[in-house]
A and B are shown apart, each in its own frame.
Chain A
Amino acid sequence: MRAADDVELRSEIEQFLYHEAWLLDQGRLDEWLGLFTDDATYWIPLQANQADPLTTSSIVYDDRRLLEVRVRQLRHPRAHARIPAPRTVHQVGNVSVVDAAESGDVRVGSTLVLVEYRRERQRVWGALVEHRLRRSTEGLRIAAKRVDLVNSEAELDGIVCLF
């Protein structure tokens, strides 16, 4: 891959991640969900360096179907923990293309600082994020997203915001 392509790809990916963050901060969650492929997974491991989502518990491990349930839930008038929805700022940084084969998915690393406010309480989250992005006719799509919270192993109050 030539250097010029590199710059182009990097900038395309950055724009994509910023757009994803913007959708989350605007509460445009159906559009956010639309960024994921049908076979996507959305994973927030419980343990540092967790190898596997199937034999170790995870703070979140959603296939596309569970992710839809999660997003749909907050439209119910009695979604107690999610009404009011948290207001958030997703700050994406340190974007780097980890792995980009000519064909196939692009692995992208980034950092996330998230400030969340809900009901008189502000929380700050930090995470290392990895996206596996896939090209489709509508542009880039998320085939897998992994969010490693720096405090994933801490004693944590309930988490309702999306990362």
Chain B
Amino acid sequence: MNIQSIKGLVQPDRVHRAVYTDPTLFELEMARVFGRAWLILGHESQVRSPGDFFTTRMGREPVIVTRHTDGSVRVLVNRCAHRGARVCETAAGTTAEFVCAYHGWTYGTDGRLARLPLPDGYARPAGESIGGGLARVPRVEAYRGFLFASLAEHGPPLAEFLGPLRTSFDDFVERAPDGEVEVAGGVFKHAYQGNWKLVLENHNDTVHPAFVHASSIWAARQEPAAAEGAYSEIGVRQMLQNGAPWEVWENTGLWVAGYGHSWMADYHDDSRLVAALAHPAFAEYRAALEQRLGPEGAARVLGELRWNSIAYPNCSFMSQFRQLRVVHPIAVDRTVVYAYSFRLRGAPERMFRDTIAFSNVVNGTASPVLTDDLEVYERTQQGLGARGSDWVFLGRGQGRDLPDREGTRRGRSGTSEVHIRNQFAAWLEYMTAES
């Protein structure tokens, strides 16, 4: 597909359905979007000490993220340099080396070939012939402990790529009394039969909850208030919050920035869900935070009301609720999302229990809330297969967006589809850039 025809797929207020359904475009996306952008891998707490590793994907590329003996983080392609077997089968662990199951070629945590059987059997050292060892992902950087990598040799540095979205990561980390967060509590892996873009377009879509989540909102509204401290309190309140009146969604802040990023803020002031308020469960936490930041600093941090933040194209996170979702495209109509929870270091354990209760209802594979999102992604994918109509309309708020600080734009209302138009603007740049 040539550049001109790709350009024709994205117009100011609409996109062609092929961007969700065409397998050829999907292959191009893997090379040009996922092959170029900074992709989130996870968090440094997953590889705290030398030898620690975890496996994940960058787009469809299987990788191993390791902490090498010199303390640096390396990202290695999980594919033996000999005849191609996957080298590491474990989701996470600690090791001195990776031994290939097939013929025993053995690699260090920096990917270098350490030894192989029968090394004399080659005209020149085998290591030389294969370029040293496992292929290394060329660029790896972290921001506030969040690990990113890029499959491209060249591109903007991470800080420039994230731009003003850095403030959402700052918010994530600043909330910890010790100034550090860590991955904990297991990872959900939920999947759907639909394109990877659908989930990223949904997370800052404030019109959908009233319709997609109508049944869980309705069911939760019939519940009497729970006893103080009941486990279900977090889940029921989140379901109710989805049923907020239109004026709440209209007045929510929705910002977009370069490279397709966006975030929602000034939302969600429920007195039990949010870690800012006078609820008894939070008193100890607030005190711990004040230890580090002082009363004004703590009030500033806790007064920040962010909801979803999206680092396009594979990262969606909730700083306030300590959730990170990593999007893995599998095929044009198949996507897997890994959802992680984080512990605020130095906060009372009660805070982490709230995080888990929240993750179960928002990211749980059988959640009364998430299952309806997944259902709608699948129906959208099916609908987009129809040939009767080629265009997907993204016009809500178009022409009314407001320029804002640091080169961002803001939807005039929180229900604007500006975040989706902004994602497609970035998509088009990646897809049509020369190299």
When distances are taken between beta carbons in the complex, the residues of chain B under 8 Å from A57 are 185-188, 341, 356, 359-360, 363-364
Quick one: which of A50, A65, A70, A80 contacts B375, CB cutoff 8 A? Answer: A80
Interface of B is mostly: helix
Quick one: which of A70, A79, A157 contacts B192, CB cutoff 8 A? Answer: A157
Taken together as a complex, chains A and B put the C-alpha atoms of A57 and B321 apart, in Å, by: 14
Nearest neighbor of B328 in chain A, beta-carbon distance? A155
A60 touching B185 by the CB < 8 A rule?
no
A79 touching B215 by the CB < 8 A rule?
yes
Q: How far is the CB of B312 from chain A (nearest CB, A)?
A: 22
Q: Given contacts A57-B186, A80-B215, are A73 and B368 in contact (CB under 8 A)? A: yes
Nearest neighbor of A69 in chain B, beta-carbon distance? B219
Quick one: which of A46, A63, A76 contacts B219, CB cutoff 8 A? Answer: A76
Quick one: which of B186, B190, B215, B359 contacts A157, CB cutoff 8 A? Answer: B190
Q: Does chain B have a CB within 8 A of A1? A: no
Taken together as a complex, chains A and B put the C-alpha atoms of A121 and B294 apart, in Å, by: 56
A54 touching B356 by the CB < 8 A rule?
yes
Taken together as a complex, chains A and B put the C-alpha atoms of A62 and B239 apart, in Å, by: 14
A61 touching B186 by the CB < 8 A rule?
no
- Which of B193-249 touch A at CB < 8 Å? 193, 211-212, 214-216, 218-220, 222-223, 226, 230-232, 235-236, 239
A76 touching B353 by the CB < 8 A rule?
no
Interface size on B, residues (CB 8 A): 48
Taken together as a complex, chains A and B put the C-alpha atoms of A156 and B214 apart, in Å, by: 24
Q: Given contacts A55-B353, A157-B191, A157-B192, are A60 and B186 in contact (CB under 8 A)? A: no
Taken together as a complex, chains A and B put the C-alpha atoms of A73 and B220 apart, in Å, by: 8
Q: How far is the CB of A118 from chain B (nearest CB, A)?
A: 10
Identify which of B191, B222, B363, B368 gathers the most chain A CB atoms within 10 Å of its CB. B368
Taken together as a complex, chains A and B put the C-alpha atoms of A43 and B191 apart, in Å, by: 21
A159 touching B189 by the CB < 8 A rule?
no
Q: How far is the CB of A155 from chain B (nearest CB, A)?
A: 4
When distances are taken between beta carbons in the complex, the residues of chain A under 8 Å from B422 are none
When distances are taken between beta carbons in the complex, the residues of chain B under 8 Å from A159 are 365-366, 371
Q: Given contacts A73-B216, A76-B219, are A60 and B374 in contact (CB under 8 A)? A: no
Q: Does chain A have a CB within 8 A of B135? A: no
Q: Given contacts A69-B223, A156-B365, are A76 and B215 in contact (CB under 8 A)? A: yes
Q: How far is the CB of B137 from chain A (nearest CB, A)?
A: 22
Q: Does chain B have a CB within 8 A of A101? A: no
A76 touching B218 by the CB < 8 A rule?
yes
Q: How far is the CB of B14 from chain A (nearest CB, A)?
A: 25
When distances are taken between beta carbons in the complex, the residues of chain B under 8 Å from A80 are 212, 215, 372, 375-376, 379
Quick one: which of A63, A154, A155, A160 contacts B230, CB cutoff 8 A? Answer: A63
Q: Given contacts A73-B219, A80-B215, are A158 and B190 in contact (CB under 8 A)? A: yes
Q: How far is the CB of A145 from chain B (nearest CB, A)?
A: 14
Q: How far is the CB of A112 from chain B (nearest CB, A)?
A: 15
When distances are taken between beta carbons in the complex, the residues of chain B under 8 Å from A65 are 223, 226, 230, 232, 236
Contact with A along B354-392 (1 / 0, CB 8 A): 001101100111101011101110010000000000000
Q: How far is the CB of B254 from chain A (nearest CB, A)?
A: 25
Q: Does chain A have a CB within 8 A of B20? A: no
A46 touching B186 by the CB < 8 A rule?
yes
Q: Does chain B have a CB within 8 A of A66? A: yes
Taken together as a complex, chains A and B put the C-alpha atoms of A39 and B404 apart, in Å, by: 51
Q: Does chain B have a CB within 8 A of A19? A: no
Q: Given contacts A57-B186, A69-B220, A73-B215, are A81 and B360 in contact (CB under 8 A)? A: no
Contact with B along A49-91 (1 / 0, CB 8 A): 0100011111111110110111011101011111000000000
Q: Does chain B have a CB within 8 A of A47? A: yes
Q: Given contacts A54-B231, A54-B353, A55-B356, are A158 and B365 in contact (CB under 8 A)? A: yes
List 18 A-B pairs, Cβ < 8 Å. A50-B186, A54-B357, A55-B185, A57-B186, A57-B363, A59-B364, A65-B232, A66-B232, A69-B368, A76-B218, A78-B214, A80-B215, A80-B375, A80-B379, A155-B190, A157-B192, A157-B374, A160-B366
Known: A72-B219, A155-B336. 19 other contacts (CB 8 A): A46-B186, A46-B188, A57-B188, A60-B364, A61-B360, A63-B231, A66-B231, A66-B235, A68-B223, A79-B372, A80-B379, A81-B372, A81-B374, A155-B191, A157-B191, A158-B190, A158-B374, A158-B375, A160-B366
